[in-house]
Amino acid sequence: MAPRELHTVLSTVAWEQPEIDVLRELCQPAEFIQCKADDKASIQNALKSANIAILASDIESYMLDAPRLAWIHCDHAGLNKSARPEVLENSFVVTSSAGRSAPVLAQHGFFFAMALAYDTRSLLERQTERAWEKGREDFRLRGALWGRKLGILGYGNTAQEMAKLGHAFGMHVTVLRRKKPKMERETPIDVDIMLSDEEGATVEALLDCDVIMIACSLTDRTHHLFGAKEFTRMKPSSVIINMGRGPIVDEEALLHALTTGQIAGAGLDVFEVEPLPKKSQLWDLPNVYITPHSTPGMPNRTGRSIEIISENIRRFKAGKPMLNELHRDDVYTKKS
């Protein structure tokens, strides 16, 4: 990418005013236009001249006709709703704020793992009953996490934090990532086995793990990556935790696996349809923990977004590859 300048910047982020002022300062000497995210008329007017757009939401179809756009930043993590063919056919760069909440997302994944390992639901029931007797010996994972195998799908920001936690818990960590590392180097200390699609590895390599955590992006390639075939090959004592996107898992196949004992349990923060319908049987399963696509707030999360945007402004001006950039192989066209 050739070096470029910021001429006019459109922002729709709903931050506090001091944080918007920081963003405005970062964009100087460009003209800075702040609009509300739902003010389509003002946004359309700003897009007549803007060459940069920093959005609170995904890319809307009407934005694609903007004549000068060179870079769009979406201030959230997953770009699957923007990874449409008509977006990818444009010449502008698309980036996200992926990574700003990675540590707490990883901790959320381990909240699920610990709850399943210690059968928290049963413990709380006994506490309510003031029952002192010890619990069953057949905990979901049949014991603590130490010494267990952790399989992580993906190796972005959240997955890297998961690997660190898995290592700290004394787990054997296997990672399956999309691309092989750009430089030949030793496997990170937090990872015991590093595999990649690019080198021929498949999700099959994770299926003997005790805990499988999903932290990859949703693309046509990863849609329903975990289905009936994969669940039949997992251990009856294993659990799956989805912190990525719902459609990565075939929910019907997951329900069958959970109710027939193919796997021991699941921790789910994301679903094929959100909000999760009240009629979903997943709500009633004792071996499932559900959170509503919501993680406890990351301290200074907006500040972390600003750091990502600031670095990308520097890279944009220098004509260098940008953080969290959307690529053609990220395209997502499938529907659940």
Active-site amino acid positions: 245, 274, 293
The three-point CA angle 189-113-125 to 5° equals 155
**Residues 170, 18: Cα–Cα separation, whole Å:** 42
Tokens linked to 43 = 């946004």
Residue 60, C-beta contacts closer than 8 angstroms, at least 6 positions apart:
none
* 142 and 237 Cβ atoms separated by less than 8 Å: yes
Distance separating alpha carbons of residues 336 and 61, to the nearest angstrom: 21
Rounded Cα–Cα distance for residues 217 and 158 (Å)? 11
Query: Is omega for the bond preceding 29 within 30 degrees of 0, making it cis?
Result: yes
Which residues have a Cβ under 8 Å from the Cβ of 85 and sit 6 or more positions away? 331, 333
- Tell me, what amino acid is at 121? R
Strand segments (E) across the chain: 8-11, 31-34, 52-55, 71-74, 93-96, 149-153, 172-177, 193-196, 211-214, 239-242, 265-268, 288-290
Angle between helices 17-27 and 301-318 (to 10 degrees): 10
- The tokens for 193 are 């086995």
What is the spatial order of strands in the sheet that 31-34 belongs to?
A: 31-34, 8-11, 52-55, 71-74, 93-96
Single out the residue of 242, 210, 248, 213 nearest to residue 227, CA to CA. Answer: 248
DSSP letter for each residue of 229-284: HHHHHS-TT-EEEE-S-GGGB-HHHHHHHHHHTSSSEEEES--SSSSPPTT-GGGG
